[in-house]
Structure formats: structure tokens, C-alpha cells
């Protein structure tokens, strides 16, 4: 995972998200009727590919930033605009988020530990 320096690499519901530190796109193959025969040959039907996104936020997030991030990620579905390394373009799709954990490090200073989250597409990659 590389360190992120481009603040416009990712938008959630058309808003830039502050504090993005790392960004990783994983192309997950979705198979049906997959199996291996007695000699170990794989067989299956590729249904599609999902562009899952793993994000890490933190380091300099303020309490308001964490609150806004939680509001965006705790919706059922939301729009994500992201840079797609495969096509070298920006794509927009509906996503949902994995469970969100917020670890408070220092209440007086309003500091939180790094936040890691997976964004999963509603539909397959296109």
C-alpha cells in the first residue's frame, strides 16, 4: 500500500474526504460452480470482478473530520468516485462500507488512531 498524496483520489457522495493516508484497489474475482477435479484442475464460471477499495485515514484527523467520515460510511449505500489503476481513469459506483471502528487515543486533544475501512461495490466492475 502506497502513501496517498492526492486529496482528489477518492470522493464519497461527491465530497473529498480528509486524512486519507493509504489507498488500495483489490480486483476480486467472483466465481460460480467452482471446483477442482481429482488431478487438481480448477473449473468454474467467472461471474464478474469487484473493485474493492481499502482505505486508511488518520494521523491528523480532527474530531469533526472523524464525525463526518463516520456519517458518510454509516449509510447503507453511497456513491464513490475513485481512481481505477486498471483503466487509469476515474470511476463512480455505488458502494457500502465494512464495519467501522473508531479508536480514541486522546480525548482532550481530539486524537484518534488510524482508521482502516473496506469499501465494497454493490455491482461488479465494469
Please report the domains of the chain, with CATH numbers, ordered by start residue. Answer: 2-33+45-121 (2.40.30)
Whole-number pLDDT of residue 2: 43
Chain-centre distance for alpha carbon 93: 12
Confidence of residue 126 (pLDDT cuts 50, 70, 90): low
Q: What is the pLDDT of residue 19?
A: 86
Sort strands 15-16 and 111-112 into parallel, antiparallel or unpaired. Answer: unpaired
Question: DSSP secondary-structure letter at 5?
Answer: -
Mean pLDDT computed over 26-48: 88
For all residues of the chain together, what is the average pLDDT? 86
- Res 87 pLDDT > 80: yes
Q: Under DSSP, is residue 108 helix (H, G, I), strand (E, B) or coil?
A: coil
In 1-126, DSSP assigns E strands to 2-3, 10-12, 15-16, 20-36, 42-57, 78-84, 89-97, 104-106, 111-112, 115-121
Give yes or no for residue 36 having a pLDDT over 80. yes
Q: What's residue 8's pLDDT?
A: 65
- pLDDT band, residue 64 (cuts 50/70/90): confident
Average pLDDT of span 16-23? 87
Over its C-alpha atoms, the chain yields an Rg (Å, rounded) of: 17
Q: Given a cut of 70, is residue 6 above it in pLDDT?
A: no
Amino acid at each position: 500500500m502506497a502513501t496517498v498524496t492526492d486529496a482528489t483520489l477518492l470522493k464519497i457522495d461527491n465530497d473529498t474526504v480528509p486524512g486519507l493516508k493509504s489507498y488500495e484497489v483489490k480486483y476480486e474475482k467472483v466465481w460460480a460452480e467452482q471446483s477442482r477435479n481429482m488431478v487438481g484442475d480448477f473449473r468454474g464460471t467467472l461471474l464478474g470482478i469487484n473493485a474493492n477499495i481499502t482505505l486508511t485515514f488518520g494521523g491528523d484527523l480532527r474530531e469533526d473530520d472523524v464525525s463526518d467520515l463516520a456519517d458518510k460510511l454509516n449509510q447503507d449505500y453511497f456513491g464513490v468516485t475513485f481512481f481505477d489503476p486498471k483503466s487509469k481513469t476515474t470511476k463512480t459506483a455505488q458502494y457500502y462500507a465494512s464495519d467501522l471502528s473508531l479508536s480514541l487515543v486522546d480525548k482532550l486533544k481530539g486524537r484518534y488512531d488510524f482508521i482502516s475501512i473496506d469499501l465494497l461495490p454493490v455491482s461488479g466492475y465494469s
